[in-house]
Amino acid sequence: MPKLTGKCSACGDALELVVPEAFTGAGLAGALCPSCTDLQFLEGGGAILQLRQELAGARFLLGKITITGGAVAGLANAGQHAVEFVVRHVRGDWGEYGHCDEIQVSPEERRR
């Protein structure tokens, strides 16, 4: 895959991004390095979680988990923590409608 090179628009560090073929020869405009992206996210009231170990019963591996400022506020208002939802998600507990292979769709719903 082609790569685009440029500089972080905030700190000036060098950037190299792997892009789809359709973007070959494109210019890099307004890109941020990972550190500046995280800083901007945190300054907006967001949170970043990084697990120290994989969760027991996980169906897939988790990387860096980012939570928007709005979600942080909503969770705080509800007296909940994002970790309980991350644990459910990674273990495949996606709620009543989370198992796509078990969802029954009526012919009327298919037409919509």
pLDDT in tens, 51-94: 888 888 888 888 889 999 999 999 999 999 998 899 888 888 87
Tokens of 73: 């506020």
List strand residue ranges (DSSP E) for the chain, in order: 3-7, 14-18, 47-49, 65-67
Return the axis-axis angle of helices 82-90 and 69-78, rounded to nearest 10°.
100
Q: Does 97 score more than 70 pLDDT?
A: no
Q: Look at residues 36, 73, 70, 65 and name the one whose alpha carbon lies nearest to residue 48.
A: 65
**Does pTM top 0.85 for this prediction?**
no
Residue spans per domain, the chain? 1-43, 45-112
What CA–CA distance (Å, rounded) separates 61 from 44? 27
